[in-house]
Structure 1
Amino acid sequence: MKRGRIVAMSHPVAAPAPPLPDPPTAPAGPRRHRDDRRVAWLFLLPVLIGFAVFYLYPTIRGAWYSLTDYSLLNTPSYVGGRNYAALAHDAQFWNSMKVTALYVVLNIGSQTLLALGLAALMHRLTRSVVLRATLLLPWLVPNVTVGLLWMWLLDANLGFVNHLITALGFGNQGFLTSPTWAMPSIALINTWAYTGYTALLLYAGMLQIPQHLYESASLDGAGELRMFRRITLPLLRPVLALVLVVSLIGSFQIFDTVAVTTKGDPAGATRVIYFYIYQQAFAYFHMGYAASAAMVLVVILGLLTAVQMRLLRASRSDLN
């Protein structure tokens, strides 16, 4: 023990080196924030080019044609506002707007109510992927195919629907040949096609609502209907506003179902504004007149969208 202690003392441990002084720091200056605007514009460039080529340029060209007397067989000649003056006194134009408005009310009303109900059931009862995929199937079918399918189903002589209602003791009905039933039938056809897609949009919005709000309301004794009115609908307003705006614009653009099933008949009961513009442009070759009707439709849709967004306060959410 003593010898080991002497050996240890004969080799003293070296003292630690003093720490190096810190390098001089540069004087603090203003921090430079990273500017990502150039990268953002680079990613937006393809979309902006597509918008300019397929939307902006045709809109400007259509506005110019609306001020001309033009058909596919002659060069455009400037006539000023003569086409718009003729539209103001065109009974068929105003009738097509009336028919379109009826379709919009029927389609959006039935589609939104059914979609809200389906979305609420999926949100509160089941979240099955199979159910969601099944609801989306009608939306994936092309509109022309949907029109042909329902034209056969609603046929007055051979249609399955008429065979069914006849078996139930009711009279045979010409759904697409009656002036009374033609437009409601077309509205219900498109309601069947688009309700599933609309329900999925609303369901996605419902998933953003905090679950603890429903749990607290349930502990307070609130039922499902009351929670839907007090929690779901107010917090779903931004998504619901988006759905209503998209549905409004899409409803005014109804064309293919009418072109396949009724072609604007009977007696103009289903001649919507898009089909009227198509007839003026490609059946009567009044391209300038059709362009003026299209410009009026653009203005009407812009005003209706602005009013709808304003009334629904789409930019505000009760979650904030």
Structure 2
Amino acid sequence: MTTLTKPAAQAAPPDSGKKSRFGIRRIGDLKIALLFIFPAMIGFVLFFLVPTIRGIYLSFTEYSILGDPTWIGLKNYTAIFTDDLFWNAMGVTVQYVALNIGFQTVIAIGLALLMHRVAKSTFIRGALLLPFLVANVIVALLWFWMLDYQLGIVNEIINWLGLPRIAFFGSEQWAIPTIAFVNVWRHMGYTALLVFAGLQSIPHHVYEVANLDGASPTRTFWSITMPLLRPVLVLVLVVTVIGSFQVFDTVAVTTGGGPVNASRVIQMYIYQRAFGESDFGYASALSVILFIILALVAFIQMKFLKGNETDLD
């Protein structure tokens, strides 16, 4: 006789509610990530998102701190395009950005190459970053005293050499170049560190092949280093350009926007309209215009410089 056997019992599905040996129910990675992000999200919402939304709303109003906002539509924006001080501030800001980004990027690439090939000491690499660790206001005051027309050590040296003293912060010709120089000195170490990190990601065997082919150091730099460094350089340019358009503290501490309007950058103009003239609606409109300009500049940089692409294949 053929005996019929019962089919083997299937294994019971694991208990989805099973606890770990610590008695804590397992939580998905997403929930854990959200738990860590939550404190930062609170700060972002309270100090960035809410003020941004309120600033956009105020840009359509006439508002001083002593009264309630009055809706006026697009009048603030139409007034901006006929505001000579706004265009002057934008021109001064663009001049500053060109000087600051041009010199800062070139010097940072040079420092990064020196750190990569010559300066192997961690102490020396860290020393290059020290100016960035000092508060920007302190750096501005330090250079303000050093470049003082009467008592500054720089002008004392210039006078000792028999040359005429220079009003670095008091001259319409020298104000913006001097401010740009101060910020280049402060930020070039940090920018060089970012570029240096990009150099570290380039495979060494690429340089070995170029060396075997007899490529000169100059040819290697322009044909290998710069193309492979492009994504990092684009990131550096986007960050530094946005930061340069927002320069304020160095100008506020040293020149206050003067002499005349020679160093009144756009952030200083926004501050003066808001807290000097109590015209918060117009200042908010200026801020929205600046935000749009920075968004367009960042988009153009990423689009045409191909910052999201890499040659490391």
TM over 0.5: yes
Aligned residue type for 1:189: V
| Structure-2 separation of matches of 1:128 and 1:228 | 23
CA distance in 2, matches of 1:317, 1:163: 50
Which string of whole-angstrom CA distances, capped at 9 and with x for unpartnered residues, describes residues 13-62 of structure 1? Answer: xxxxxxxxxx96959x9xxxx96433333333333322222111110000
Note the alpha carbon deviations across 1:252-302, whole angstroms, 9 max, x for none: 110000000000001100000000000001111001110000000000000
Match of 2:256 among 263, 270, 284: 263
Q: In 1, distance between residues paired with 2:146 and 2:202?
A: 40
The answer to whether 1:216 aligns with 2:216 is no
Q: What is the distance in 2 between the residues matched to 1:255 and 1:224?
A: 40
Q: 1: CA distance between counterparts of 2:120 and 2:49? A: 41
Give the TM-score of the pair, scaled to structure 1: 0.88
Please name the residue that 2:32 is paired with. 39
Deviation of residue 251 (structure 1)? 0.2
Give 2:198's aligned residue. 205
Letter in 1 for 2:52: T
Q: Which has more radius of gyration?
A: 1
- Figure out how many residues of one structure are paired with residues of the other and give that number: 294
Paired with 1:25 and 1:187, the residues of 2 have a C-alpha distance of 78
User: What is the CA–CA distance in structure 2 between the aligned matches of 1:173 and 1:25, rounded to whole Å?
Assistant: 94
Question: What is the distance in 2 between the residues matched to 1:78 and 1:319?
Answer: 53
CA distance 1:25–1:255, shift in 2 (3 Å): farther
2:252, 2:268 within 8 Å by CA — same for their partners in 1?
A: yes
Equivalences for 1:183-202 in 2 at 5 Å? Answer: 183-202=176-195
Partner amino acid for 1:135?
A: L
Give the AA of the match of 1:290.
A
Aligned to 2:169: 176
Decide whether the 8 Å contact of 2:112 with 2:192 is kept in 1: yes
**Which residue of structure 2 aligns with residue 315 of structure 1?**
308
User: 1:301 — aligned with what?
Assistant: 294
> 1:304 is matched by which residue type in structure 2?
V
Tell whether 2:81 aligns with 1:69. Answer: no
1: CA distance between counterparts of 2:34 and 2:276?
43
Partners of 2:119 and 2:223 in 1: CA distance:
21
Instruction: Show the counterpart of 2:242.
Output: 249
1:9 counterpart residue number: none
2:231–2:310 CA contact under 8 A, matched in 1: yes
- In structure 1, C-alpha distance between the alignment counterparts of 2:206 and 2:162, rounded to whole Å: 49
Whether 2:133 is the aligned partner of 1:133: answer no
For residues 265 and 200 of structure 1, what CA distance do their matches in structure 2 show?
A: 33
Does 2:270 correspond to 1:284?
A: no
Write the mapping of 1:16-165 to structure 2, written as runs, cut at 5 A: 36-165=29-158
Moved >4 Å (runs of 4+): 23-27
The 2-side partners of 1:86 and 1:138 are apart by: 41
Runs of at least 5 residues in structure 2 that lack an aligned partner in the other structure: 1-6, 14-26
2:8 and 2:255 map into 1 onto residues whose CA distance is 85
Answer whether contact 2:230 2:307 (CA < 8 A) is retained: yes
Aligned counterparts of 1:259 and 1:185: Cα–Cα separation in 2: 14
Q: Report which stretch shifted further, 35-44 or 77-86.
A: 35-44
| 1:116-141 Cα distance to aligned partner (Å, 9 max, x none) | 00101111222211111111110011
Work out the CA distance in 1 between the residues paired with 2:185 and 2:96: 14
Q: Distance in 2 between matches of 1:194 and 1:225?
A: 26
- Listed as ranges, the gaps of 5+ residues in structure 1 are 1-22
- DSSP 3-state at the match of 1:309: helix
Output the TM-score relative to the length of structure 2.
0.90
Structure 1 counterpart of 2:278, one-letter code: F
Counterpart contact for 2:119–2:125, Cα < 8 Å? no
Match in the other structure for 1:228: 221
Higher deviation after alignment, 49-58 or 266-275: 49-58
